Structure 1
Amino acid sequence: MALFHQTVDFLSDSWANQRTQLPLLAITGASFTLGILLQSLFGGDRHKETVLVSPRSTVLPGLSEAENRKLPLPNDVLPGARDVATPYGSIRVYEWGPEDGPKVLLVHGITTPCIALGGVAHALVDRGCRVMLFDLFGRGYSDCPSDLPQDDRLFATQIMLVLASSPISWTGAGSGKFCLVGYSLGGGIAASFASFFPQLLSSLVLLAPSGLVRDSQISLQSRLLYSRGLMPESLLGFLVGRRLRAGPLVAPKSKNKHDQLSAADALTEELPSQSAAEVQVLSREYPHINVPSAVAWQVNSHPGFVHAFMSSMRYGPILAQRQWGTWARLGEHLSAQNSMSSGNQSEKGLPSDKVHILCGNNDAIIIKDEFVSDATTVLGGNAVFKFYEAGHEFPSTKYEEVAAYIWKLL
């Protein structure tokens, strides 16, 4: 057992230290040894729960209203909260605004619950929109199906379930269609969804989207730790959970343009600086709520978060090598649509004929020069770009500017 603890500490500390580059052979050998010696100790994946319930079931029961209000993520943090029962577990949805206003569905990132887009949502409602947000599986107050990969299929299904839960029509005849807005991982999810269901959308807005991250940007250590089969999943979950809970859950230091990214970067890049967190208003009911504290609470309180984070890193729409074909399908649809005669606009889907992509100039994950080149190529030139003087976290700090852009598009 002493050898076990030493090996775990060695792997975990080496991952946390981004300047340490361990040889592939050494990590693979250690992982293989752990897989043989510790499989029985960790029990593999047998008897795994199929649904890891959210803090809605593990934290909220028994809390008083006063105690709920003190939570870093109160149960009613946004208006129009509802919990939708599905075969995949319960999904937390928020929906409010004029029923006859332009409809906007917002999809958040890999780390944050949907409160990160609360500022954008409130600003859109102020302008007359009907908005809907939801917590992705394993985040916020949504359960986590632990026996399914968090990939395009699961995310598209979740979006459809969320849309179907609304008391008003978001997709039927006369619904006016809806604008789909995705941030970070949510941007990759939105691009994938749009490539399959463009006829449902009035427009597509991607905020610092994943999906075209080059494989060369990902560090060797993260590739190994998220590679399936090198060590028992339960051990991998222990290592990743330990790293995520170790923090620090603050915005990272500036990175050089060509520094490789680790899972820790994915965790922290969605978080604003402390000064920005202090001035952002994401919840009108709870003005003190901010992204860093909500994420820290989620990491420690949601039994499904570590699994969701790992599975999204492994299977989600993040890397270009997995998602190029998906984005190309979207680009081909737009090119074909642009070549059509005026025809019946209501049958086309994405009437704006462009994907609107908003990013930060100082984003350490979405590298401006690389991303613009890749997105322009794969979308066949059917993209419009706008950049803000900010990092990856800009939707939670520049929400008025983002909302103004979306409203002008609508």
Structure 2
Amino acid sequence: MVATSPYQCLTLSLLILPPLLLTTYFMAAFPSPPAPVFINPSLASLPPTAKSWSIYPEDYYPGGGYAPLPSGKVRYWLMGPEKGKKVILIHGLSIPAIIWKDVAPTLAARGYRVLVYDLYGRGYSDAPLTTYSTNLYTTQLALLMQYLRWEKANIVGVSMGGAIAAAFTAQYPYLVDDGVALIASAGLMESSDISRTAKFMSSPLVQMLTASKPVQMYLQRLTNQSASPDQAPSNPILDIVRIQSAHLPGYNNALSSSLRDGPIRGEINSFRSPGFENKRVLVLHGTKDRTVNPKYASQITALLPQSSKKKLITIDGAGHDLSVSHGLEVSEALLDLLDGSSWKTLS
């Protein structure tokens, strides 16, 4: 029998006790309560002299208001008669609700009750410092409808908004009325569809650098220079994107997180969800769309349940921002969808 010296016992204790105590501590330790979500400001925080107020003011549409939701305030506008059939328009990745400038008033003038709003991180809605996942966007819309006491509505989305519309229909089919429109819809894009520049710019390290004060000041200076009187007239839609990127700390994070974690990709199950059954579904795409390949329009149509009344419309020669470049055609297609009389025999 080998005798153990006091020195050896002490050595063994020093080797065994610390790991044992640490293990016990981590197993028994209770986590701290989660920190509140940090909220970055919206376009409403910019001074009245900012160019954004002349391009896309807070009262750009009539019937504006703010919904105080858990992840921040959401800016919305309501147009058209209160008793009209309800329609919700969802914008895409980078351009806020100004993208519906031609479509929303047209629908409202034809008797529909139209809701447009800014997604989190865009326009006049707050920008929570969080992951911009599909669930963030669908929950935002569900809570906004609850705030407005809307029990059901027709859902229309463009670009990333189309993917949100599909996910919303899959998750909350009881909140979706008879019509769904997916315009230049994302949702099935592959990683290879996203440019290397976009992937690089959306990386966490680059986002940390672009959020720094020196880079923000540089972007703001570039934006101010582009607004000088001796410059050629610019595109208001592109200007509002530049202003958000330069002046809103949460905007670039919202875009980059949406590319990495959001509904741009991976929504195949949403499109083939039973939530679309027995609904009229319009898939509208331009043949020259360089942002979301036109091939995805036919793929989305094929994924939709057989019981849905689906219609695929392509606009020859049109690019990605259909609601701006082809507002009349988009409005007419939506009016046909909402009326529904020509969809009864579709399968």
Residue 300 (1) aligns with residue 246 (2) = yes
In the TM superposition, what is the alpha-carbon distance from 1:305 to its structure 2 partner? 0.6
Where is the strand percentage greater, Structure 1 or Structure 2? Answer: 2
1:391 to 309, 319, 323: 319
Task: State the alpha-carbon separation in 1 of the partners of residues 74 and 63 from structure 2.
Answer: 13
Structure 1 portions without partners, runs of 5+: 1-46, 172-176, 250-273, 278-289, 339-349
Contact 2:292 2:320 in 1 (8 A): yes
Contact 1:213 1:366 in 2 (8 A): yes
Aligned to 2:38: 50
RMSD over aligned CA atoms reads: 3.1
In the TM superposition, what is the alpha-carbon distance from 1:220 to its structure 2 partner? 4.3
Task: State the alpha-carbon separation in 2 of the partners of residues 152 and 180 from structure 1.
Answer: 16
Give the count of matched residue pairs.
290
Task: State the alpha-carbon separation in 1 of the partners of residues 259 and 212 from structure 2.
Answer: 16
AA matched with 1:201: V
Contact 1:123 1:399 in 2 (8 A): no
Aligned to 1:216: 192
AA matched with 2:248: H
SS of residue in 2 equivalent to 1:363 = coil
AA matched with 2:139: T
SS of residue in 2 equivalent to 1:71 = helix
Q: Any idea what the Cα deviations from partners look like across 1:136-192, whole Å, max 9, x if unmatched? A: 11111111110x2111111111102221232xx421xxxxx3110001111111110
2:145 to 163, 166, 171: 163
Aligned to 1:153: 135
Task: State the alpha-carbon separation in 1 of the partners of residues 53 and 134 from structure 2.
Answer: 35
The 1:121/1:235 distance shift into structure 2, 3 A limit, reads same
Task: State the alpha-carbon separation in 2 of the partners of residues 232 and 143 from structure 1.
Answer: 22
Bigger radius of gyration among the two: 2
Aligned to 2:161: 186
Aligned to 1:59: 46
SS of residue in 1 equivalent to 2:102 = helix
Aligned to 2:74: 91
Contact 2:52 2:240 in 1 (8 A): no
In the TM superposition, what is the alpha-carbon distance from 1:404 to its structure 2 partner? 1.7
Task: State the alpha-carbon separation in 2 of the partners of residues 48 and 227 from structure 1.
Answer: 24
In the TM superposition, what is the alpha-carbon distance from 1:293 to its structure 2 partner? 2.4
Q: How does 1:6-17 map to 2 (within 5 A)?
A: none
Contact 1:89 1:145 in 2 (8 A): yes
In the TM superposition, what is the alpha-carbon distance from 1:89 to its structure 2 partner? 1.3
Q: Any idea what the Cα deviations from partners look like across 1:352-376, whole Å, max 9, x if unmatched? A: 3xx21111111002222x2134213
Task: State the alpha-carbon separation in 2 of the partners of residues 245 and 233 from structure 1.
Answer: 14
Task: State the alpha-carbon separation in 2 of the partners of residues 104 and 316 from structure 1.
Answer: 23
In the TM superposition, what is the alpha-carbon distance from 1:207 to its structure 2 partner? 0.9
Bigger RCO (CA 8 Å, 6+ sep)? 1
Contact 1:184 1:207 in 2 (8 A): yes
SS of residue in 2 equivalent to 1:212 = coil
2:304 to 379, 391, 394: 379
Q: Any idea what the Cα deviations from partners look like across 1:211-260, whole Å, max 9, x if unmatched? A: 011233233454455456xx485237569x77x959x99xxxxxxxxxxx
Contact 2:43 2:52 in 1 (8 A): no
Q: How does 1:111-130 map to 2 (within 5 A)?
A: 111-130=94-113
Contact 1:91 1:134 in 2 (8 A): yes
Aligned to 2:92: 109
The 1:159/1:221 distance shift into structure 2, 3 A limit, reads same
Task: State the alpha-carbon separation in 2 of the partners of residues 307 and 48 from structure 1.
Answer: 18
Q: Any idea what the Cα deviations from partners look like across 1:267-290, whole Å, max 9, x if unmatched? A: xxxxxxx9995xxxxxxxxxxxx3
Contact 1:72 1:297 in 2 (8 A): no
Q: Any idea what the Cα deviations from partners look like across 1:54-101, whole Å, max 9, x if unmatched? A: 132x225xx48xx89953221211111111222211111111210111
SS of residue in 1 equivalent to 2:87 = strand
In the TM superposition, what is the alpha-carbon distance from 1:298 to its structure 2 partner? 2.1
Task: State the alpha-carbon separation in 2 of the partners of residues 232 and 216 from structure 1.
Answer: 20
Aligned to 1:6: none
In the TM superposition, what is the alpha-carbon distance from 1:327 to its structure 2 partner? 2.1
Contact 1:68 1:74 in 2 (8 A): no
Contact 2:158 2:183 in 1 (8 A): yes
> What percent of counterpart residues are identical?
30
Contact 1:138 1:305 in 2 (8 A): yes
AA matched with 1:316: G
AA matched with 1:163: M
In the TM superposition, what is the alpha-carbon distance from 1:119 to its structure 2 partner? 1.2
Q: How does 1:286-365 map to 2 (within 5 A)?
A: 290-319=236-265, 322-328=266-272, 330=273, 332-334=274-276, 337=277, 350=279, 352=280, 355-365=281-291
SS of residue in 2 equivalent to 1:165 = helix
AA matched with 1:170: W
Task: State the alpha-carbon separation in 2 of the partners of residues 162 and 149 from structure 1.
Answer: 19
TM-score scaled by length of structure 1: 0.64
Name segments (4+ residues, structure 1) moved above 4 Å: 67-70, 236-239, 274-277
